[in-house]
């Protein structure tokens, strides 16, 4: 009777995962992420390419395209970027270039693979943490969700600091749970050191780390908190302070500039209401499951789950009330929210309320169906395909001094990802605030300043735009067209702010002859 009673309390997710084990979940997670490694090429946001890939490869090539390094600035001043994560990529690209002439596509394949492997730690730590605060059955549920959640495989292979810091945060949380009731100074220091690595990736994780420290004080008392803090401080001094000391001859130069810049510019970028991220987390899990996960989040608030609950709450509170809001900022705590929401609902399901279990099953069914439908799209989502493929195409040409991007339908054009071009030419940007005519003085004085290629973005008014540019470059000739991928087109249709448009490449015959295939 007891067995039947327990089985009756199982929700549909528990029934689906009852034959799974942690090794099977990790294999499933890797297989999905490996599909993303192969097909999810390109990039998702400006930052995961231009602040990481573009910057690090340009340093290897001796270019420093964004002038972050002091010896490439007229009036040296930090830009407010942590050099830890981009520095890891610099070391990787330097080694790759020293070993062989790997193509950009091969380099990015390996980088996506390494990120996919690291993301398996998120699955593993989510399982082990849930095992500490719940039971094995629910740990399997959480591990399964981390493996198959529709956006995770795609995000896992992106070069986002918001994602790269997650294994460090969960790893530190895992080690704190591992202390049991006999805290080990060595493990506490190591947990703090790992948490400090997350801070060196992304400074805002300091609020999550603060939550870990407060939880340590509450559960393990002051001595353990001191050991944990020593680990955090040593990590930050060594990595964040050390790198800045080498580059800027003073520690924490970039961090200081980052804080000052964001305090001064908190309203300069996209802003939103305090509930923006609450709504986003809800929507990612779809309705009604996303909504009742907040109930689960509340139900999970106990001493047992404090090491993950309080840090997640503090991180969410800071980002909810800080004016500048971009969706990727909250990616860092999606795994924690799912872990806590699922654990709370698992507890609520054991209360033997048939109406709640029925509602939960319906919610989980809707989630699983939508998740299954969206997963193939994200696994194969080639982000910014037209921009990447246009650079790959032009890489067959050598000695490109200048490019021009033209989109007079918008206030700014899209930066070409020069990493795939394997050259670092100057880029003229023509939009509805800067006309082609306003730049022409350079071209009249010296034809070498003329762009070798003009990249027209979008179809609107295309003929008139081409004719206008041809007034400056009469020998402009059509070269190739690159169309965005299916998901990029779909996102643009849903919201024109996602301006991933068709790119038409025209070659300036006065500057460069057509390359024979």
pLDDT digits (tens, 9 = 90+) for 424-444: 999 999 988 888 877 776 777
Assess if residue 515 is contained within a domain: no
Q: What angle do CA 212, 302, 315 make, to 5 degrees?
A: 40
Higher-confidence residue: 272 or 505?
505
Q: Are residues 360 and 470 in the same domain?
A: no
Q: Are residues 365 and 450 in the same domain?
A: no
Name the residue with tokens 């506490």. 188
Q: Are residues 193 and 341 in the same domain?
A: yes
Helix H or strand E encompassing 428: strand 426-431
- The CA distance from 302 to 309, in Å, is 8
pLDDT at residue 9, rounded to an integer: 67
The tens digit of pLDDT for each residue in 451-499 reads 999 999 988 899 999 999 998 899 999 999 999 988 888 877 766 667 7
Q: What is the mean pLDDT of residues 391-400?
A: 93
Record the pTM. Answer: 0.93
From 363, 379, 395, give the residue that closes a domain.
379
pLDDT at residue 351, rounded to an integer: 73
Q: What angle do CA 87, 89, 90 make, to 5 degrees?
A: 60
pLDDT surpassing 90 at residue 298: yes
Assess if residue 513 is contained within a domain: no
Q: Are residues 311 and 424 in the same domain?
A: no
pLDDT surpassing 60 at residue 25: yes
From 335, 361, 379, give the residue that closes a domain.
379
- The CA distance from 84 to 89, in Å, is 9
pLDDT at residue 434, rounded to an integer: 84
> How many angstroms separate the Cα of 195 from the Cα of each of 117, 229, 254, 330?
19, 10, 19, 18
Q: What is the mean pLDDT of residues 332-354?
A: 89
473 lies in which domain range?
385-508
Closest CA to 65 of 57, 405, 428, 76: 57
Q: Are residues 371 and 273 in the same domain?
A: yes
Lowest mean pLDDT among 5-19, 166-180, 198-212, 249-263: 5-19
- The CA distance from 422 to 91, in Å, is 17
Tell me how crowded residue 222 is: count the other CB atoms within 10 A of its CB: 8
Contact 296, 341 (CB under 8 A): yes
- Partners of 429 in the β-ladder: 405
Q: What is the mean pLDDT of residues 387-398?
A: 94
From 333, 359, 379, give the residue that closes a domain.
379
Q: For the chain, count helices (H), then strands (E).
A: 24, 5
Closest CA to 177 of 348, 339, 346, 13: 339
pLDDT at residue 492, rounded to an integer: 75
Assess if residue 516 is contained within a domain: no
Split at pLDDT 50, 70, 90, the class of 352 is low
pLDDT at residue 288, rounded to an integer: 94
Q: Are residues 391 and 444 in the same domain?
A: yes
- Partners of 457 in the β-ladder: 503
Sign of CA dihedral 391, 392, 394, 396: positive
Q: Are residues 409 and 360 in the same domain?
A: no
Pure H helices in 272-349: 276-284, 289-299, 306-321, 334-349
Burial of 92 (0-12, 13-18, 19+ CB in 10 A): middle
Contact 478, 363 (CB under 8 A): no
pLDDT at residue 3, rounded to an integer: 35
pLDDT surpassing 50 at residue 171: yes
Domains in the chain, number? 2
Q: Are residues 39 and 123 in the same domain?
A: yes
pLDDT at residue 5, rounded to an integer: 41
Q: Are residues 177 and 227 in the same domain?
A: yes
Pairing of strands 503-508, 402-407: unpaired
**Token duo for residue 92:** 């990787």
């Amino acid at each position: 009777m007891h067995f039947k009673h327990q089985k009756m309390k199982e929700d549909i997710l528990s029934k689906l995962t009852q034959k799974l084990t942690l090794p099977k979940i990790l294999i499933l997670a890797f297989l999905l992420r490996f599909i993303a490694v192969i097909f999810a090429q390109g990039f998702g946001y400006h930052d995961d390419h231009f602040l990481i890939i573009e910057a690090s490869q340009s340093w290897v090539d001796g270019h420093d395209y964004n002038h972050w390094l002091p010896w490439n600035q007229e009036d040296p001043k930090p830009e407010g970027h942590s050099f830890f994560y981009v520095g890891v990529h610099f070391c990787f690209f330097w080694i790759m270039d020293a070993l062989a002439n790997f193509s950009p596509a091969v380099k990015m394949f390996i980088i996506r693979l390494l990120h996919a492997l690291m993301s398996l730690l998120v699955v593993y730590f989510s399982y082990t943490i849930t095992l500490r605060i719940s039971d094995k059955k629910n740990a399997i549920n959480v591990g399964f969700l981390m493996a198959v959640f529709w956006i995770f495989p795609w995000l896992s292979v992106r070069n986002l600091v918001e994602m790269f810091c997650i294994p460090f945060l969960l790893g530190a949380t895992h080690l704190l749970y591992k202390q049991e009731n006999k805290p080990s100074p060595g493990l506490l220091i190591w947990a703090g050191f790992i948490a400090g690595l997350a801070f060196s990736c992304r400074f805002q994780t300091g609020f999550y780390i603060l939550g870990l420290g407060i939880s340590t004080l509450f559960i393990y008392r002051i001595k353990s908190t001191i050991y944990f803090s020593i680990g955090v401080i040593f990590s930050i001094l060594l990595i964040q302070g050390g790198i800045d000391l080498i580059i800027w001859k003073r520690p924490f130069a970039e961090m200081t500039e980052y804080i000052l810049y964001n305090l001064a510019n908190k309203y300069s970028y996209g802003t939103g209401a305090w509930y923006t991220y609450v709504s986003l987390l809800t929507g990612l899990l779809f309705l009604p499951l996303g909504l009742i996960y907040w109930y689960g989040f509340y139900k999970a608030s106990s001493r047992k789950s404090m090491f993950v609950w309080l840090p997640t709450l503090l991180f969410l509170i800071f980002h909810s009330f800080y004016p500048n809001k971009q969706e990727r900022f909250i990616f860092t705590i999606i795994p924690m929210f799912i872990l806590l929401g699922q654990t709370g609902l698992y507890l609520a399901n054991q209360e033997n309320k048939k109406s709640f279990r029925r509602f939960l099953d319906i919610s989980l069914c809707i989630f699983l169906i939508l998740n299954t439908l969206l997963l193939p799209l994200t696994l194969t989502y080639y982000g910014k395909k037209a921009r990447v493929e246009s650079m790959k195409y032009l890489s067959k040409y050598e000695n490109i001094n200048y490019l021009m991007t033209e989109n007079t339908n918008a206030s700014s054009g899209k930066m070409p990802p020069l990493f795939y071009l394997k050259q670092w030419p100057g880029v003229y940007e023509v939009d509805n605030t800067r006309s082609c005519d306003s730049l022409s003085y350079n071209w009249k004085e010296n034809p070498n300043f003329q762009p070798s290629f003009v990249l027209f973005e979008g179809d609107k008014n295309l003929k008139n735009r081409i004719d206008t540019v041809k007034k400056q470059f009469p020998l402009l000739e059509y070269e190739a067209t690159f169309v965005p991928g299916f998901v990029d087109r779909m996102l643009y249709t849903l919201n024109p702010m996602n301006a991933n448009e068709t790119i038409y490449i025209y070659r300036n015959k006065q500057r460069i002859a057509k390359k024979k295939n």
